[in-house]
Amino acid sequence: PKKKELNKEELKKNRQQKKKDLKKSRQQAERKDMFQIISQCKQVWGDLRRYTPADTQIIMAFAHDSVRVLQCFIQFGTHEQRQEVFTEIKDDFINLCKSQYGRHIVKKLLMYGNKELVAAVMQTFKGHVRPMLRHAAASSIIEYAYNDKAVLAQRLMLTEELYGNTFTICKSSVCNTIEKVAEINPDKLNSIIDEMKQILTPMAQKEQVIKHSLVHKVFLDFFLFSPDKQRTEMIESIRESVVYMAHTHDGARVAMHCLWHGTAKDRKVIIKTMKTYMVKFATGEFGHLVLLAIFDCVDDTKLIKQAVLSEILASLDEVISNKFGKKVLLYLLSPRDPAHLLPEIIKVLERGDGNAHSKKDPAVRRKELLEVISLPLLEYLRSNAATMVMDKATSVTVSDILASARGDLRPAMIAVAQLANQELVPGGTNGQLHMAEHPAGHLVLKWLIAQDVTLVGVSSNHHLFVCSLLNSCDKSVASEVKGALKSITSELSSISNNKGAEILLENLNK
């Protein structure tokens, strides 16, 4: 029996050794040249842990040179080894977060830890979020945890402290958001809003705090649920800090609420703080929405021209070629066009309609803004027709400029017509496709032909493009346009005192 037991133990040891050998060979294959270095580092760390008192290990975590050893160990170690590091330093975790060097240890644990370890790290933050947010080093750790690692339940836990004591008392595992708490305890909402205001107002005075997305989420909830009086007071206290919030999803919506519900003075202060950053706003994923809100609600179009549009028009190349910058220009040309904006975004913008401080008729405001941008956009199209028409990103802007801009369209129309008037060589010449063959260009051409056939009897501007196509050196293009115009030849003949119609008939009868 003893021999059998020994055999069992030996077999077990052999199995374990085989597993270790397999793991080692796998890691050696994966890590290649780094394997030997990592193995040595682990050995050094193991020796260090055995012979170094716990206090000395904490000291290592705060020192600028030795902390790098711990960072490497966390990055390349196993989950068990990371757990050991966390266990040894968790009692001093908050101080580590506030340390210029120690915070990198915390970030590495969040970055490379498994779900259980990340959850344990986040749990150590509970009850310390507010002071950590006010600290330069610690706030970056909270922001990383909230933005990059936290799941919904952990996000709610991190933001909980910013809603005040009343919210903490009223919430439960099922009723864990301000929306649900307000629904079940409507009588407590005013107390919650008052406490939120007391917590949030001082945060707005510190740039390093106000720029974090965690804070933006709480600010947005405040604006969604606060009564008019508290909302007005909050806008007045944070109006100079709104510029630091527009780079996040929730922060941009906070800025929009401030513009919608702020007084004329509040709006002016917000716009002035945005000066020199307008192009950054226009090309930002969320920042561009703030500009759309400005175009919707600010009555002082002279201020918008001087402070907002002057900067955007001075950098048209950058703005028009950017995915979000293009949306800003298209919004000025055709506001809330479903072809350019998602239905959800249009719904968000509609929340600002009918606010108490916008007195000017929206149609008048839009007309004034359109007049400001029309001439620069037409001139830009005239100078960059080939680039815009043949580029998938900007080609959609061509049709909107020609359809909506005010002023003399002829120079821009001629510039585009000259592209279509070139000889059509199948496959293109020197790698450059003809407008009619180009994936983006042919859509512009199709739109222009349709517009010109429809509007040629209405506006003398629109005969130019069709006449150019009728005289195209490519016969197939000319015959196709003639065929499209056959149906309105009699209508053109009946039009009197229209030079455009006369010229077009003359070209048709050639």
Residue 311's pLDDT is: 97
* Cα dist from 35 to 29, 76, 121, 486, whole Å: 8, 10, 29, 78
Residue 2's pLDDT is: 47
Q: At residue 48, does pLDDT exceed 60?
A: no
Taking alpha carbons only, the member of 122, 66, 71 closest to residue 93 is 122
Low-confidence winner among 50-64, 89-103, 107-121, 193-207 (lowest mean pLDDT): 50-64
pLDDT band (50, 70, 90) for residue 444: confident
DSSP state of 419: H
Amino acid at 368: E
Backbone angles phi, psi at 377, to 5 degrees: -70, -40
Long-range contacts of 462-467 (CB under 8 A, 24+ apart): 462/413, 462/500, 463/500, 463/501, 463/503, 463/504, 464/410, 464/413, 464/414, 464/417, 464/500, 465/413, 465/416, 465/417, 465/420, 466/504, 467/503, 467/504, 467/507
Residue with tokens 């990055």: 75
pLDDT digits (tens, 9 = 90+) for 103-120: 988 999 999 999 999 999
Residue 176's pLDDT is: 87
> Would you put residue 430 in left (φ > 0), alpha (ψ -120 to 50) or beta?
left
Secondary structure (3-state) at 432: strand
CA dihedral 381, 387, 388, 393 (to 10 degrees): -150
Q: What is the mean pLDDT of the chain?
A: 84
Q: At residue 51, does pLDDT exceed 70?
A: no
pLDDT digits (tens, 9 = 90+) for 259-297: 999 999 999 999 999 999 999 999 999 999 999 999 999
Q: Does residue 224 or residue 27 have the better pLDDT?
A: 224
| Spatial contact of 436 and 442, defined as CB atoms under 8 Å apart | yes
Low-confidence winner among 62-66, 117-121, 457-461 (lowest mean pLDDT): 457-461
Q: At residue 318, does pLDDT exceed 80?
A: yes
Task: Give the residue-averaged pLDDT of 332-347.
Answer: 94
Residue 401's pLDDT is: 92
* Whole-number Å distance between alpha carbons of 483 and 466: 12
| Spatial contact of 492 and 460, defined as CB atoms under 8 Å apart | no
Residue 459's pLDDT is: 45
CA dihedral 81, 85, 88, 94 (to 10 degrees): -150
Q: Does residue 227 or residue 206 have the better pLDDT?
A: 227
Write the burial class of residue 439 (CB in 10 Å: 0-12 exposed, 13-18 middle, 19+ buried). Answer: exposed
Residue with tokens 């000319």: 478
Residue 469's pLDDT is: 61
Task: Give the residue-averaged pLDDT of 36-60.
Answer: 62
CA atoms within 13 A on the CB side of 480: 14
Domains, the chain, in order of start with CATH, read: 25-150 (1.25.10.10), 264-383 (no CATH), 410-510 (no CATH)
**What secondary structure, in 3-state letters, does 112-145 show?**
HCCHHHHHHHHHHHCCCHHHHHCCHHHHHHHHHH
> What tokens does 224 get?
């969604």
pLDDT digits (tens, 9 = 90+) for 478-498: 666 666 666 666 666 666 565
Residue 10's pLDDT is: 79
Taking alpha carbons only, the member of 443, 503, 498, 496 closest to residue 471 is 503
DSSP state of 78: -
Instruction: Please tell me the pTM assigned to this model.
Output: 0.78
Q: At residue 434, does pLDDT exceed 80?
A: no
* Whole-number Å distance between alpha carbons of 236 and 248: 21
* Whole-number Å distance between alpha carbons of 109 and 406: 58
